[in-house]
Amino acid sequence: MHEKYPERSPANFRILRVTAAMLVLHLLLSAHYLAVGSPSPSWRILIPSGPLLMAFACTIAVSRTGSGTPGRRLLRYILTISAAAGYGLSILNSSGQWFFTLFYREDFSVIHDAVLIPGLFSMLLGEPAMDGDMLSLLSWAVVGTVLFLLGILLTVLLLRIGRSRRGRENQAETGWKGGVLVPAIFFLMAVIGFFIFPETRVLAGSESGSGSTYVRPVSNTAVQVAENYAFPGISDKDIHLLVIESYGSTLFLKDEYLDAMESSYRRLGMMLGDLGFKVYSGFVRSPVFGGRSWLADSSLLTATQISSQRMFDDRVASEQPAFFLQLLENGGYHRVYAAPGTYESWESWRKTFPFEEYFFRYDFGYEGPFVSFGAMPDQYFLDVIGRRLQTDRKEFIMALLVSSHVPFESVPPYFQEWSFDQYGREYTEENISIYDNNWLSGNELAEGYLASIDYSLQSALGYLAQHASDSGLMIVVGDHQPRKPVSTPDAGYTVPVHVILPANSSVRLPEEWGLSRGLHPGVPSANEVLYPEIAAIPRLMDRILHWRPEMELILP
């Protein structure tokens, strides 16, 4: 029998060897679906991605294409490049999925989330010695080169596994004789998954997620219209929306965090009382976990829970002005956006978020040392904004605080006098507290996180005391939970929210929000659906702004 079939057994063995190699590669690149906390079901490990299927098909095609003529050599070259590109994209997708699973608890999209790569380089480099365009070009060049080289390596490896000892000319009859069988197996897996599991259609992009958009209902004009004010609930006084980085409900799930926060809340609560303010606190659900603050920030302005980069891109591409900013514009408010963690913006973003003044990284005149993610301390940039407030106009300030951003390695001192005549040179290496943490790990994560949150909270409320003591409304809210392992394993998506009003305000807040008096929001419930989305905050603010003693404040 061995004499009768001399070639079939070795050839079939090579077919099985190649098929096994491709299956192993697929499983390695899809192992993130088995990770604890993966947002996708584990059965998705069975479904190969499009780029990987393309790479496998091109690899097989290379093996079955001879090189006897220039045309065939060119075809082999094109197929090899295509296979390497497919493997590179698959590696990028797998790496992104691991990163997003571990830090964000979300799925990664090569199409929409890969644009974040330059931002990742920027964070890792701190204060880069080049402009944003050059950094973006460099980061893409580095990532693209590494991925392509890895793709070439995988292509060559698989070709060697399937190569026949008799030479390239006879490969079509031996090592790759089952070339049709191998891609057919993976294609069949993809088709079965697509039609049996409806979720794959969403993940493949055939369906798109959407968030509910708030449209302000028409109210009884006899009650709603004030004689002299656009916003009678606050007598047209200034409005401040301060977003604290990584300020999450995990602070109330660990004893070591809770004890420290209770002390901070008592101290800051007494300060608010002395200033003539009252505060109500509770929790809201952020659309994100561990990062991607801009999704939470945009949810706050659009009144739409924006939970993915795809939703954000679609919303900005529409150029439809954000609901809350339209409301403020109609009320005659001067709108200011302060974000020291951002370098610049683009035209469609500004049309979607139409402020009248934008302050980014290099607009604050900061000359001090680089401090954490946002380059400058929260207190410094809030002081710059506070000194620009004018008493002859109605102001809305949205400020994105940055001093509590990961990696929680440097926390500046808080200056009681709020004086920065040296443009930030008041900060030195001697008075900045340093913690043994980095972007991936740390030995003082809890200490650094608590110190940075305390500093940011003190800066936010100190800003109210120093520059905004005549305000009508101030909202302080977290953008998302801190990343693991700073967050507890059971931490969800809830973040604290504080509603600060003048002590003599007669506004009645809705019972549905579960807000309690004081800065301490209490211990969050494990049932997160009890809490409003962060995108509901504009609805709450709308009701506060238009509230009159004659009406009840009840959300729809």
Question: What is the rounded CA–CA span in Å between residue 431 and residue 408?
Answer: 16
Q: Is the pTM of this model over 0.75?
A: yes
Q: How many CA atoms lie within 13 A of 56 on its CB side?
A: 26
Neighbouring-strand partners of residue 244: 478
Identify whether the C-beta of residue 316 lies closer than 8 Å to the C-beta of residue 553: no
> How many helices and strands, by DSSP H and E, does the chain display?
17, 10
Question: What is the rounded CA–CA span in Å between residue 466 and residue 188?
Answer: 66
Q: For residue 502, what pLDDT is reported?
A: 92
Per-residue pLDDT of the chain (556 residues; tens, 9 = 90+): 444 444 444 555 666 777 788 888 888 888 888 876 777 777 778 788 888 888 888 888 887 777 678 878 888 888 888 988 988 888 888 888 888 877 777 788 877 777 777 777 666 665 555 566 677 788 888 888 998 899 899 888 888 887 655 544 444 444 444 445 555 555 555 554 444 444 333 333 333 334 444 445 434 333 444 458 899 889 999 999 999 999 999 998 887 788 888 888 999 999 999 889 999 999 999 999 988 899 999 999 999 999 988 899 999 999 999 999 999 999 999 999 999 988 888 899 999 999 999 999 899 999 999 988 778 999 999 999 999 999 889 999 999 999 999 889 999 999 999 999 999 999 998 999 999 988 778 888 889 999 999 999 999 999 999 998 888 999 999 999 998 888 877 788 999 999 999 998 888 888 889 899 999 998 888 888 889 999 999 999 998 998 876 554 443 3
Residue 2 three-state SS: coil
Nearest 5 degrees, angle CA 258-CA 263-CA 269?
115
Quote the strand ranges of 235-351, DSSP E.
Answer: 239-244, 277-285, 334-338
Domains and CATH numbers, the chain: 8-204 (no CATH), 232-545 (3.40.720.10)
Question: What is the rounded CA–CA span in Å between residue 245 and residue 495?
Answer: 10
Write out the DSSP string of 163-203: --TT-GGGGGGTTTTTTTHHHHHHHHHHHHHHHH-THHHHH
Helices 70-99 and 8-29 cross at an angle (nearest 10°) of 40
- Residue 216 has a CB neighbour count (10 Å cut-off) of 16
Residue 305, CA distances (Å) to 131, 210, 211, 284 in order: 32, 8, 5, 11
Write out the DSSP string of 130-154: S-HHHHHHHHHHHHHHHHHHHHHHH
Instruction: Report the largest interatomic distance among the alpha carbons of the chain, rounded to a whole angstrom.
Output: 104
Question: What is the rounded CA–CA span in Å between residue 309 and residue 318?
Answer: 14
Residue 113, CA distances (Å) to 107, 139, 204, 546 in order: 9, 15, 14, 39
Residue 522 three-state SS: coil
Q: What are phi and psi of 473, to 5 degrees?
A: -160, 135
